[in-house]
Amino acid sequence: MVAAVSIIDVVKHFGSLKALAGVSLEIEQGEFFGLLGPNGAGKTTLISALAGLLRPDSGSLKVLGHDVVTDFREARRLLGVVPQELVFDPFFNVRETLRIQSGYFGIRKNDDWIDEILENLDLTSKAEVNMRRLSGGMKRRVLVAQALVHKPPVIVLDEPTAGVDVELRQGLWQFVRRLNGEGHTIILTTHYLEEAEALCGRIALMKQGRIIALDTTANLMAAHPGGTLEDVFVRTMNQ
């Protein structure tokens, strides 16, 4: 079976800074995978390269066998990304925003699925509200909805619950668990390590553009008995 995501020896420089220093990683279809590391570790750079938002200096990245550079259109269709930044168009309401996002992928008459997403993200009451009038937490919910609107088989969540309330976090994870149970591959970055511990079957730890640990969550924690994933994270980063 082809991997959901295949990353081979990816290198990326920004001037003298080596943001990615030869990252190799394979994520199987149906995994709930955690990508963790401190600020500046290279997580968002790696996700941006996977989404085709920047080109690596060398190496390759594939989504379900489709190269993100040479077969960008198909690779991007198979991927849904929730970015860290709150990026939105101020001229449309929530439902219009999701319809437009559907159109980017050639999908029309998608309102039944849009309604389901709105309900699961507790956005139904905001469907006709202009994006400018939403709170930061509500805008983040819309970013999640945009990533899911074309039903991508691979979903990347880059700090999806940063700055949102506990109720939304719980509702979001219930929905994402359901999608994972239906076969979607989930890749998560988060500063809430208890989320990664509860959700992710396998975890990669990044530091200074490299993967310094990669194993199942259970094995990582077994190597540091008596601790939480946060303890494992702190000890590993200090090695």
187-217 tens-digit pLDDT? 999 887 888 889 999 999 999 999 999 999 9
The Cα–Cα gap between 205 and 237 comes to: 8
pTM for the full predicted model: 0.90
Contacts for 82 with CB less than 8 Å, ≥ 6 apart:
143, 144, 146, 147, 155, 156, 157, 158, 160
Query: Is 5-78+152-237 in CATH node 3.40.50.300?
Result: yes
Residue range 149-163: average pLDDT?
87
pLDDT value of residue 77: 92
Token pair listed for 117: 């997403």
Lowest mean pLDDT among 127-141, 176-190, 201-215, 216-230: 216-230
Q: In 3D, which of 121, 168, 129, 178 has the Cα closest to residue 146?
A: 121
pLDDT tops 90 at residue 222: no
pLDDT tops 90 at residue 230: no
Residue 226 binned pLDDT confidence (cut-offs 50, 70, 90): low
Residue range 128-155: average pLDDT?
89
Residue range(s) of every CATH 3.40.50.300 domain in the chain: 5-78+152-237
Task: Give the chain's radius of gyration (CA, Å).
Answer: 18
